[in-house]
Amino acid sequence: MFRRIITVSLSVFFAFITLPLSAQQSVNIENQVRQALNASYRTDNDRQADSYRLPAETLAFFGLKNDMRVMELLPGRGYYTKILGQILADNGKLYVAADGERVEPELPKWGLNNVGILNDNFATERRNNERQYSIINEFSFDVSDLDMVLTFRNTHNFKKDDRIRVSKEVLKSLKSGGIYGVIGHTRRHMEPYDEVRWRRVDPVDLIKEMQEIGFVFKDYSTLHYREHDGLVHDTTHDSLGRDSDRFTMIFVKP
């Protein structure tokens, strides 16, 4: 019996070490994310969102490693900041930018004092009761040679010209080969802007924008495809339960 246990254990061990390196890294980061999800300071809302945000699978798809220098744009209330900050605390570095000050008071409470708040002069306003923000200052992300930049469900917040301004600054901040991971709420292809469904972006338009400023479109995932979302309501509609259809894409700086 003991010999059989040893044999099975060795089989599992050698099966793991013969995985391709990228597959091993994916398994490793998923395990690290799941460990980070156990943090006591995560709220009930955070834990409820795990089922549709799928952070372990999402960050594995983007290729996150714990020794990377990563910037998170528009961190909101810090759902991903809490996860990324833990994973990158020892061997990497997390920066938050574009309204990163919003999470700054919370970082000591979360034990994430190593997270950098970038002074980027990023400021926005809504004009004439418009839904989307306009960027009102010249700004830049005061960091360079990053391995990865991530933004989650934010692309809809800006008009096309301002979204392009943000993407150009992201491109400057990345090293060659650096990854820009983007998740956004899906708009039906070629559907014009509609205030009823303003929290959506046409993914084909976004790919075109990114390619025109110099990014290479590398990959996409169906992780956040949602069949129940017919793309006819705003993403906050009760029928969607905050779980809208979202595109998940990787762009790379040449």
Given a cut of 70, whether residue 10 has pLDDT beyond it is no
Helix 55-62 vs helix 79-87: crossing angle, to nearest 10: 60
Percent share of the chain, pLDDT over 90: 85
206 within a domain of the structure (yes/no)? yes
For residues 251 and 71, give the distance between their C-alpha atoms in angstroms, rounded to a whole number.
15
36 within a domain of the structure (yes/no)? no
217 within a domain of the structure (yes/no)? yes
31 within a domain of the structure (yes/no)? no
In the chain, the number of structural domains is: 1
Q: Which residues pair with 201 in a beta bridge?
A: 186
Residue 95: its pLDDT value, please?
98
7 within a domain of the structure (yes/no)? no
Given a cut of 50, whether residue 8 has pLDDT beyond it is no
Given a cut of 90, whether residue 82 has pLDDT beyond it is yes
34 within a domain of the structure (yes/no)? no
For the beta sheet containing 146-152, the strands, ordered from the edge strand earlier in sequence to the opposite edge, are 116-117, 93-97, 69-73, 146-152, 174-185, 246-252, 216-221
Given a cut of 90, whether residue 16 has pLDDT beyond it is no
74 within a domain of the structure (yes/no)? yes
CATH of the domain at 174: 3.40.50.150
Q: Work out the pLDDT band at 6, boundaries 50, 70, 90.
A: very low
47 within a domain of the structure (yes/no)? yes
Query: Quick one: which of 78, 222, 63, 27 has its CA closest to 149?
Result: 63
Domain that holds residue 101: 42-252
H or E element in which residue 33 lies: helix 21-36
Q: Work out the pLDDT band at 171, boundaries 50, 70, 90.
A: very high
